[in-house]
Amino acid sequence: MVKALLKVSDVTKSFGEVTALSTVTVNFHAGEVVGLVGGNGAGKTTLLRLLCGLYQPTSGTVQGVVDEQPVDIHKMREHVGVVPEATGLYARLTAWENIRYHSRLNGIDDDMAWTRTERFAKLLNFDHELHRSTRGFSKGMRQKTALLRALSHGPEILLLDEPTGGLDVTSARTVRKLVRKLGDEGGTVIYSTHNLAEAQQVCDRIIIIHNGTIRAEGSPQELMSAAQRDDLEEAYVALTEDVARTETPTEDEGKIARAWRRMLTRGGGSVE
């Protein structure tokens, strides 16, 4: 039996009078790559923020599972690596210094962090950039640095929010290859994307989120069978045929940025 690592049970998350997620129940298991697919405002980012403890549910529970025992989601942080949409790098530090700072806060020896960072940096074709200042980095370079930072402490679970959004074709392809490699090596990756073709390429399971609810989940073939379609895009359209809502409000983004900073670095400073 495949072990569940994260359990979301009957969760609703509201912001004032707006319900971002409604009665969502889903489990995430060890060793799978899962795509959260949906349009803007569907609830993908809200679910990711619940999974890492940044948000608290309005009702329902979000729990981790350690040694087959349920634990508070905040006790899972050492097991989780997070790459938020805003990378939050310290501009006055090099890429490696950003990564090392994060790994030290997680109790990881510098040599161990470097070995792991160098390995993944080579896979991302980024090893020659590690000692460069992040000030002036392109979006793709910042994204790669944030990925390496999230992986430096050897997390069991990697949470990614639109990891290829805004990247050039080559960088996006490199990130997809890394995600698939992590999955093939037994890692657990959960990431939001609006790119259905990308999810089909790398995911073992796709969860379609629309207007704050889970409309379907399964492998691409299972989703096509459920919608009685021969094409995944057509299946998605059939499963989300009601009009999509406008993008939902969230908590104040300045507050969220400060919370990400505390979670990722436990400190302050100049970030970009």
pLDDT of residue 66: 82
Q: What's the rounded Cα separation, in Å, for the pair 140 and 165?
A: 9
Residues 202, 228, 215, 79, Cα dihedral to 10°: -20
Q: Record the tokens describing residue 258, joined without a space.
A: 């400060």
Whether residue 153 has pLDDT greater than 80: yes
Q: What's the rounded Cα separation, in Å, for the pair 225 and 220?
A: 9
pLDDT of residue 212: 94
Q: What's the rounded Cα separation, in Å, for the pair 10 and 161?
A: 22
Phi, psi of 180 (to 5 degrees): -65, -35
Q: What's the rounded Cα separation, in Å, for the pair 261 and 238?
A: 39
pLDDT of residue 271: 47
SS (H, E, C) the chain: CCCEEEEEEEEEEEECCEEEEEEEEEEEECCCEEEEECCCCCCHHHHHHHHCCCCCCCEEEEEEEECCEEEEHHHHHHHEEEECCCCCCECCCEHHHHHHHHHHHCCCCHHHHHHHHHHHHHHCCCHHHCCCECCCCCHHHHHHHHHHHHHCCCCCEEEEECCCCCCCHHHHHHHHHHHHHHHHCCCEEEEEECCHHHHHHHCCEEEEEECCEEEEEECHHHHHHHHCCCCHHHHHHHHCCCCCCCCCCCCCHHHHHHHHHHHHHCCCCCEC
pLDDT of residue 137: 92
Q: What type of residue sits at position 93? A: L
Instruction: Find where tokens 């900073």 sit.
Output: 261
Q: Considering only 45-54, 89-98, 108-117, 163-172, which range has the smallest mean pLDDT?
A: 163-172
CB 152 within 8 A of CB 116: yes
pTM of the model: 0.86
Which residues, other chains included, contact 124 with Cβ-Cβ below 8 Å and sequence gap of 6+? 144, 147, 148, 174, 175, 178
Whether residue 136 has pLDDT greater than 50: yes
Q: Considering only 74-83, 167-176, 240-249, which range has the smallest mean pLDDT?
A: 240-249
pLDDT of residue 270: 45
pLDDT of residue 165: 80
Tell me the domain boundaries of the chain: 4-204+259-265
Which residues, other chains included, contact 36 with Cβ-Cβ below 8 Å and sequence gap of 6+? 44, 47, 48, 190, 191, 192, 193, 207, 209
Q: Record the tokens describing residue 189, joined without a space.
A: 């990756």
Q: What's the rounded Cα separation, in Å, for the pair 130 and 148?
A: 10
Bridge partners for 11 per DSSP: 24
CB 252 within 8 A of CB 16: no
Whether residue 99 has pLDDT greater than 60: yes
Other Cβ atoms within 10 Å of 196 Cβ, number: 20
Residue 239's pLDDT band, with cuts at 50, 70 and 90, is very high
CATH code of 4-204+259-265, in short, is 3.40.50.300
- Percent of all residues in the chain with a pLDDT value above 90, rounded to a whole number: 61
